[in-house]
């Protein structure tokens, strides 16, 4: 019970929350102080997250570093935190990426020269405070083992995200500042409504879950562990239809967040209109809460309904993979291309989760982490590129390799990670998802494999059109290469992609046991091989 002595998980979430408040409070004239403060807080959070990872014992209990306090006693709502290996990986991913988001967005919220000053609010301070606020809420979501607690933060993080998207748009807009502001506002509202709608459906299901538990256990509860234990012991049984309805309530909310086809259309708008660091925040961090929650809540609370829905979910995942990749090929806007590529990648993650094999789910978990890193690398370099030329349109580039070789080289590495080149981390997760899917659903595995060919097309087309060819535009001819701050952002990301590509063991070690627990939640074991069949026959 040493864990009880210091609430480590709470501290990991509270630190960025306090940091957000402090950053927002920095006087308007001291922008630089606010930036460094936010950066320092994000590093502190990273340090705490690493302590979490080190204190976590892969061979120990399923949920560790647990905290439990009464919160709304009347409704059985508790403040319950705890992490399994999957949660540790996701918290680590979040804490690792935020410093990069802050460093990459260093100048994104500075007032533009000539902009009318004298505003009462402080945009720079606000920008970094909001990022830290999102971090705090995401960390709580990954650590919450109480369904209601999770729901509250799952919804609450929409608020800072709404302001980040709507308030700090990408200044590179082809049709002028005013049109840009309009598009931005549309994107932010669409993001908010879409996710609120999902949240509403989920709320109904959360309430429904409470009713079911209250009905059968005498006292309603939202505690994941309590419900799981009650289900295992037979104390709590759900009617088939009730379970399915509840499952759908949760799943739709997560599928919007993830996002899964056909609920994906908010993502290209949101990622296209926001600044690159915020786009990274959306796709690499916030969206992962959706896929993470599928693993933890959909499979953990509703195993039978999950099995029932599997064929449909796999079909949607496959559509996402192929459709997202084809749409990415057809994009003219760099950031929207990356957004559609992410939709394809989320398809892989969902596919891996619902393949219900240890390779599929382990792969999906690694996929969440590695996709976060690779998209950050690609998107942040894309942001550096866009900030130089002031345009998001692919056609406005060409020949950058000649004038900015380091920028082009890092962009290529980010792209190669996105197409899952072996040797880089995303290859491992993608291959595991595919092999895990194939071993249970061979046809689905083969269809998904077509996605790797399409990924090569959209990545290399993007690279070809922006980086190669003759330098024909004067803006390209005088384009500066990456600056030291920018290299400092990209280099560690690339180093991580290579390191985990060759040595993913630190992650697989903590993820594997968690996946085994999830597999036993849904009462599944890996399919037997023909070889073991033959041995059994002997």
Partner 1 sequence: MESLIGLLVAAPLLGAAVLLCGGQRLNRTGHLLGTALAAVSFVVAAVLFFDMVGRDTDDRALHQHLWSWVPVNEFQADIAFQLDQLSMTFVLLITGVGTLIHLYSIGYMEHDERRRRFFGYLNLFLASMLVLVLADNFLLLYVGWEGVGLASYLLIGFWQHKKSAATAAKKAFVVNRVGDAGLAIAIFLMFTTFGTFAFGPVLDDVEASGASQATLTGIGLMLLLAACGKSAQVPLQSWLGDAMEGPTPVSALIHAATMVTAGVYLITRSGAIFNAAPDAQTVVVVVGAVTLLFGAIVGCAKDDIKKALAGSTMSQIGYMILAAGLGPIGYAFAIMHLVTHGFFKAGLFLGAGSVMHGMNEEVDMRKYGGLRKYMPVTFITFGLGYLAIIGFPGLSGFFSKDAIIEAAFAKGGTQGWILGVVTLLGAAITAYYMTRVMLLTFFGEKRWQPDAEGNMPHPHESPKTMVIPMVVLAFGSVFAGGLFKWGDAFVNWLEPVTQFEHGHPPLSVPVITGLTVVVLLIGVGAAWFQYGRAAIPVVAPRGSLLTRAARRDLLQDDFNHVVLVRGGEHLTRSLVYVDNKIVDGAVNGTAAFYGGLSGRLRRAQNGFARSYAVSMFGGAALLVAATLLMRAV
Query: Under rule CB under 8 A, which residues in 380-419 are in contact with partner 1?
Result: 399, 401-402, 409, 416
User: Does residue 242 touch partner 1 according to CB under 8 A?
Assistant: no
- Segment 55-114, which members bind partner 1 (CB under 8 A)? none
CA distances from 469 to 100, 398, 401, 450, 465 (A): 31, 6, 8, 28, 8
**Residue 513 interacts with partner 1 (CB under 8 A): yes or no:** no
Q: How far is the CB of 454 from partner 1 (least distance, A)?
A: 9
Instruction: Answer whether 342's CB lies under 8 Å from 62's CB.
Output: no
How far apart are CB 1 and partner 1 at their closest, in Å? 32
DSSP string across 335-358: HHHHHHHHHHHHHHHHHHHHTTSH
Interacting residues with partner 1 between 488 and 507 (CB under 8 A): 502-505
Q: Which is nearer to partner 1, 156 or 452 (CB)?
A: 452
Closer to partner 1 by CB, 124 or 283: give it. 283
Report the alpha-carbon distance of residue 485 to residue 511 in Å, rounded: 33
d(CA 122, CA 116): 13
- Shortest CB 198 distance to partner 1, Å: 11
Binding string, residues 175-214; x marks residues near partner 1 by CB under 8 A: ----------xx--xx-xxx-xx--x--xx--x--xx--x
Report which of 59, 510, 11, 93 is spatially closest to residue 284, judged by C-alpha positions: 93
Q: Does 453 bind partner 1 (CB under 8 A)?
A: yes
- Residues 216 to 235 in contact with partner 1, rule: CB under 8 A: 220
Pick the binder of partner 1 from 449, 473, 475, 492 (CB under 8 A).
449
Is the separation of the CB atoms in 419 and 455 below 8 Å?
Answer: yes
Candidates 141, 213, 223, 358: give the one binding partner 1 (CB under 8 A).
Answer: 358
Binding flag, residue 527, partner 1 (CB under 8 A) = yes
Residues 312-341 that bind partner 1 (CB under 8 A): 323, 326-327, 329-331
Q: Which ranges of 218-302 would DSSP assign to H, the alpha helix?
A: 224-233, 240-257, 266-273, 276-280, 287-293, 299-301
434 touching partner 1, by CB under 8 A: yes
Helix residue spans in 390-480 (DSSP H): 400-403, 405-418, 425-440, 442-467, 474-477
The Cα–Cα gap between 432 and 317 comes to 16
Q: Shortest approach of partner 1 to residue 159 CB, angstroms? A: 11
- Coil/strand/helix, residue 458: helix
CA 248 to chain CA mean position, Å: 21
124 vs 331, beta carbon nearer partner 1? 331
Number of shown-chain residues binding partner 1 (CB under 8 A): 80
Name which position in 421, 473, 475, 517 contacts partner 1 (CB under 8 A).
421
Span interacting with partner 1, options 81-89, 292-300, 388-396, 464-472, rule CB under 8 A: 464-472
């Amino acid at each position: 019970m040493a864990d009880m002595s210091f609430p480590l998980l709470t501290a990991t979430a509270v630190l960025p929350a306090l940091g957000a408040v402090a950053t927002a409070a920095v006087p308007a004239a001291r922008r630089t102080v606010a930036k460094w403060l936010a950066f320092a807080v994000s590093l502190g959070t990273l340090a705490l997250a690493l302590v979490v990872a080190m204190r976590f014992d892969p061979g120990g209990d399923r949920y560790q570093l647990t905290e439990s306090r009464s919160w709304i006693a009347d409704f059985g709502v508790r403040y319950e935190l705890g992490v399994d290996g999957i949660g540790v990986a996701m918290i680590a991913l979040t804490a690792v990426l935020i410093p990069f988001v802050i460093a990459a967005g260093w100048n994104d919220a500075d007032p533009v020269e000539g902009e009318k000053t004298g505003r009462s609010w402080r945009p720079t301070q606000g920008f970094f405070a909001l990022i830290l606020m999102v971090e705090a809420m995401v960390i709580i979501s990954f650590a919450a083992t109480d369904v209601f607690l999770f729901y509250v933060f799952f919804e609450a993080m929409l608020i800072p995200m709404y302001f980040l998207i709507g308030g700090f748009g990408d200044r590179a807009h082809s049709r002028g500042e005013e049109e840009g502001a309009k598009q931005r506002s549309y994107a932010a509202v669409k993001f908010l409504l879409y996710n609120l709608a999902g949240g509403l459906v989920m709320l109904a299901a959360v309430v429904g879950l409470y009713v079911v538990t209250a009905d059968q256990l005498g006292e309603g509860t939202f505690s994941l562990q309590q419900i799981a234990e009650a289900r295992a012991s037979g104390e709590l049984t759900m009617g088939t239809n009730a379970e399915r309805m509840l499952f759908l309530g949760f799943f739709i909310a997560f599928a919007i967040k993830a996002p899964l086809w056909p609920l994906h259309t908010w993502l290209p708008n949101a990622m296209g209109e926001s600044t690159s660091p915020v786009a990274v925040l959306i796709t690499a961090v916030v969206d992962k809460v959706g896929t993470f929650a599928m693993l933890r809540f959909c499979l953990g609370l509703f195993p039978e309904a999950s099995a029932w829905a599997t064929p449909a979910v796999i079909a949607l995942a496959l559509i996402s993979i192929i459709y997202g990749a084809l749409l990415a090929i057809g994009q003219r806007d760099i950031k929207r291309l990356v957004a559609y590529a992410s939709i394809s990648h989320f398809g892989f993650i969902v596919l891996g989760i619902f393949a219900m094999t240890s390779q599929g789910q382990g792969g999906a978990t690694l996929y969440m982490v590695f996709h976060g890193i690779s998209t950050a690398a690609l998107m942040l370099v894309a942001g550096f590129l866009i900030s130089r030329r002031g345009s998001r349109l692919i056609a406005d580039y060409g020949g950058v390799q000649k004038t900015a070789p380091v920028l082009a080289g890092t962009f290529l590495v980010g792209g190669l990670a996105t197409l899952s080149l072996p040797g880089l981390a995303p290859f491992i997760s993608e291959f595991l998802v595919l092999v895990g899917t194939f071993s249970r659903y061979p046809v689905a595995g083969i269809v998904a494999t077509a996605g790797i060919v399409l990924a090569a097309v959209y990545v290399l087309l993007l690279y070809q059109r922006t980086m190669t060819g003759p330098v024909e535009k004067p803006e390209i001819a005088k384009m500066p290469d990456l600056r030291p701050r920018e290299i400092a952002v990209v280099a560690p990301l690339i180093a991580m992609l290579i390191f985990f590509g060759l040595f993913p063991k630190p992650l697989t070690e903590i993820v594997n046991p968690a996946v085994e627990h999830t597999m036993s939640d849904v009462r599944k074991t890996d399919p037997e091989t023909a070889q073991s069949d033959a041995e059994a026959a002997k």
